[in-house]
């Protein structure tokens, strides 16, 4: 497809367009706008990071932090969550959404960490992704933030939406989006790229009301409404 240098008119038909030729310019602008992107989940160790990230699926980090503030006071280690009463745990994480599935995944994951990994969160992609509720997105976050291992790019709903709107990928499957973005960015930038796109999606490129008029990428974005 044709590379795009400028945004489309708001009356134009919105279609997916290959804008990867502009990636270096886009990434340069984003890095200046978000010079030190940090995760907004609260945690104090690898296990808490894993549980918080599982809870963050389809939920805001702010809400997860409210829940884990109490959760981690009660369940102070992996053994405590492994033996948690599911009915009680469901009520405690109810506000994060999908509470039944999340509670089962959290309890089973805790049990597997004890039985299969000597009570410690595994530090490889292969091992992490066999845990219930842990796909590549969660594994990438835990590896990068918990163990300092950058093996990929965590693709959540914000990364999926923003990278698509920017024309950096035409895929909708998170695994394929991750591969597309990994080809564009240097490995040293993979971790920051995920967090940067997330922050841009939250603060500017909102799903319902994208703030194109104030977006620094508007002239480089094929989905721009200005």
| Catalytically annotated residues | 137, 156
Q: Which two tokens stand for residue 45?
A: 């160790």
Are 108 and 12 contacting, i.e. CB atoms less than 8 angstroms apart? Answer: no
Are 194 and 168 contacting, i.e. CB atoms less than 8 angstroms apart? Answer: no
The residue whose two tokens read 């480089």 is 220
Give the chain's radius of gyration (CA, Å).
19
Provide CB contacts within 8 A for 37, sequence distance 6+: 192, 195, 196, 198, 199
Q: What angle do CA 123, 188, 217 make, to 5 degrees?
A: 120
Provide CB contacts within 8 A for 188, sequence distance 6+: 150
Query: Exposed (0-12), middle (13-18) or buried (19+): which is 172, by Cβ within 10 Å?
Result: exposed
């Amino acid at each position: 497809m044709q590379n795009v240098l400028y945004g489309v008119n708001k009356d134009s038909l919105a279609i997916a367009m290959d804008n990867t030729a502009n990636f270096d310019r886009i990434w340069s602008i984003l890095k200046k706008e978000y010079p030190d992107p940090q995760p907004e989940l609260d945690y104090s160790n690898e296990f808490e990071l894993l549980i918080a990230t599982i809870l963050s699926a389809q939920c805001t980090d702010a809400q997860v932090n409210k829940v884990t503030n109490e959760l981690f006071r009660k369940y102070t280690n992996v053994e405590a969550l492994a033996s948690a009463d599911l009915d009680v745990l469901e009520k405690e994480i109810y506000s994060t959404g999908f509470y039944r599935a999340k509670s089962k995944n959290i309890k089973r994951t805790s049990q597997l960490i004890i039985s299969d990994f000597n009570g410690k969160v595994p530090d490889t992609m292969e091992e992490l992704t066999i845990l219930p509720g842990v796909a590549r997105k969660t594994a990438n976050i835990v590896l990068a933030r918990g163990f300092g291992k950058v093996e990929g790019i965590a693709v959540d709903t914000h990364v999926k939406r923003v990278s698509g709107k920017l024309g950096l990928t035409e895929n909708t499957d998170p695994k394929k989006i991750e591969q597309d973005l990994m080809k564009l960015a240097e490995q040293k930038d993979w971790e920051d790229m995920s967090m940067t796109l997330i922050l841009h999606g939250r603060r500017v490129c909102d799903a319902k009301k994208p703030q194109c008029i104030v977006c620094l990428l508007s002239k480089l974005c094929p989905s721009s409404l200005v």
